[in-house]
Copies of this chain bind each other. A is one copy, B any other.
Amino acid sequence: MGCLDEGNGDIENGVSIGCGEVGFEEEAKPDIAAIEEAVKVLLLGLGEDVNREGLRKTPLRVAKAFREGTRGYRQKVKDIVEGALFPEAGLENNRIGHAGGAGGLVIVRDLDLYSYCESCLLPFQIKCHVGYVPSGQRVVGLSKLSRVADVFAKRLQEPQRLADEVCSALYQGIKPAGVALVLQCTHIHFPDIESIFLESSQQAWLKTLVLSGSGIFDDRKADVWSDFFCLLKFRGIEIEKVHLRGSSDQWWCPSLSALSAKVSSKTVPVNPAMVTAVSSILKSLGEDSLRKELTGTPGRFVKWMMNFQSIDMDVKLNGSLSGDTFDPDREVNFKDRQIHCELNLPFWSQCEHHILPFHGVVHIGYFISEGFDPIAKSLVQSIVHFYGFKLQVQERLTRQIAETIAPLLLGGHVIVVVEASHTCMISRGIEKFGSSTATIAVLGHFSTDLAAKAMFFQSVASATTSRVQ
C-alpha cells in the first residue's frame, strides 16, 4: 500500500467517501459482518453481556467506524487530483522572482485530520500543514491538498510514514517544484489501570511533530523550508519550540513505551481468542496483518482493552482504597458550612457505544464543617478511576461518582461535573474536532440551594481559566 501505487493505479471504487453511520458500499457488508463478530468476541472477553441495551449495536458501530476510519485504502489520489489542476500564469517574462503558477509558495495551514495508530488501533489527531511550490504554470485546487492528506490519514498509520506518503503522492499527482508536509500529531496516553497508581502525574497526551519534503524541499536546510516555517509562525506555530522527533524517541505510541512494557509484563497473559479477533479485524480492513509494524498490534489492543473488564472495585483497584479513613458520624454544621472542591481530577474512560476512549476531568463539590477534614483526595481520585476504567457513558460515570461519594458525607450533599473530549466525536463521520461534553449530577442540598451551586461553579470557572486545553 505504498504511495507509489497511488498515482498509477486503476480506479477501483472511485473516491467513495462514506459519512458515518450511513452510505456504506454494498461490497463492504461481508467485511462489516466479520468485524462485528470479532467485536462480540472482544466484549465477551471483557465479561460483558453483548445483549445489554447499551452494547447491542456496539459491534456494528465499531465495524462502521473502523471501515470509515480506514476508507483511505479504497481511495485513489489520482481521482482526486485529476481535474483539479488549473492553468495559472507565473511572473511576466521580464521579471526576476517567483509567483503564481511558477514558484509562488502556497501553504494551507491548520487542517484537522485524524488517523488510526498502527501500533495500538486508537485514533490520533493531526494538525496538518501542507504546502507546495507550483511549476509548469499550473496550480491545484486548495481543497485537494486536504483531500489527498485525508486519503492517507484514513489508514492505519504512524506519523512519519503518513507525512512521507502524502508528500510523495502530492509530488507525483501535482508534479510541482516541491511539496512539504508538517504534521503535529497528538496521541492519547492511556495509562494502564495499574500504572495509574504508580505514577502520580500522568501525561494525558503525547505529541510529536514530523516533516516530509520532496523536490526543492528534499533538503531540510533549503531556504524554502524557512519560508514555510515563517508562514506557520504567522499562525503562532513555532517549529523551534515544538518537539521535533529524534532517533532517541523512536516510539511515539505509548503502548510501545518502556513503562508500558514493564507494567504489562506483570499482567496476566492475554486471551488468545481476543487476539485472533483483532487480527481478523485488521484483515477485514484490507490490511496485511503480517506487516511487521502490525504483528504486535492485536496483542497490544487486547491488553489495553483488558483495562475495561467488567469486574468489581476491590479486584480492580487491588486494595488501593483500603487505608483511607473516614468517619460517617462526624457532624456537618450547615450554618458554618463551607464548600470543599476537588477540581480537575483526571479520568480516562471508554465509550461503550464505540469502544473508543473519552478523557477529561471531574470536578466535585461537597459541604464540610470547619475543623473537619475533607475526604482524602487519593480516595476521591481512586473512585474516579474506578468508574472510568469500564465500558461507560459519561452520564452514568457522573452519576456513579456522585452516588459513591454521597454515602461518605453526612446527608449525601454532593455535586459532580464531568468534562470530556470524546474520541468518537472526532474519529467518525461527524469529525467535531474541539467539541467537549459536560454532564452534571446534583445530590441533596445542591439541587435546591442555588447559592451553593453558584459558589461551586465559580470555583470551577476560576480553576479552568488556568487549565491548558
Binding site for B on A (CB under 8 A): 14-23, 53-54, 57, 83, 86-92, 95-101, 104-112, 134, 139, 141-143, 146-147, 150, 223, 226-227, 230-231, 233-236, 353, 393-396, 398-399, 402-403, 406, 412, 416-417, 419, 422, 424-425, 428-444, 446-447, 450, 453-454, 457, 460-461, 464-465
Contact = CB atoms under 8 A, between A and B. Distances in A.
Contacts of A22: 14-17
A92 B416 CA distance: 16
Contacts of A416: 99
Given A104-B395, A395-B134, A412-B95, A234 B443 contact: no
A103 to B, nearest CB: 8
Contact of A440 (B20, B109, B227, B233): B227
Given A100-B398, A112-B432, A431-B431, 9 more contacts: A88-B396, A89-B399, A91-B443, A99-B442, A101-B395, A107-B439, A110-B435, A226-B450, A227-B453
A460 B102 CA distance: 24
11 contacts: A23-B23, A88-B395, A91-B403, A97-B442, A104-B441, A106-B437, A141-B353, A227-B453, A230-B460, A234-B419, A234-B461
A443 B99 contact: yes
Contact of A461 (B107, B112, B233, B394): B233
Contacts of A443: 91, 95-97, 99
Contacts of A434: 110, 112
Contacts of A96: 443-444, 447
Contacts of A16: 22-23
A101 B398 CA distance: 11
For the complex, would chain A's binding face be called helix, strand, loop or mixed by DSSP majority? mixed
A93 to B, nearest CB: 12
Contacts of A89: 396, 399
Contacts of A412: 95
Nearest to A420: B142
Contacts of A143: 20, 424-425, 428-430, 432
Contacts of A437: 106-109, 142
Contacts of A433: 112, 433
10 tightest A-B CB contacts, nearest first: A99-B441, A100-B399, A99-B399, A17-B19, A97-B443, A230-B457, A97-B447, A231-B438, A234-B464, A97-B442
A105 B440 contact: yes
A441 to B, nearest CB: 3
Contacts of A436: 108-110, 235
Nearest to A101: B395
Contact of A104 (B19, B223, B399, B419): B399
B233 A53 contact: no
A100 B441 contact: yes
Given A109-B438, A395-B134, A438-B109, A432 B88 contact: no
A20 B96 CA distance: 39
Contact of A98 (B106, B235, B432, B442): B442
A399 B100 CA distance: 5
B393 A97 contact: no
A322 to B, nearest CB: 25
A88 B393 contact: yes
Nearest to A134: B395
Nearest to A416: B99
A115 B152 CA distance: 29
Contacts of A92: 403
Nearest to A448: B96
A18 B227 CA distance: 37
Contacts of A457: 227, 230, 233
A396 B100 CA distance: 5
A109 to B, nearest CB: 5
Contacts of A424: 142-143
A14 B21 CA distance: 12
Scoring A17, A353, A395 by chain B CB atoms within 10 A of each residue's CB, the highest score goes to A395
Given A87-B53, A432-B146, A447 B98 contact: yes
A386 to B, nearest CB: 17
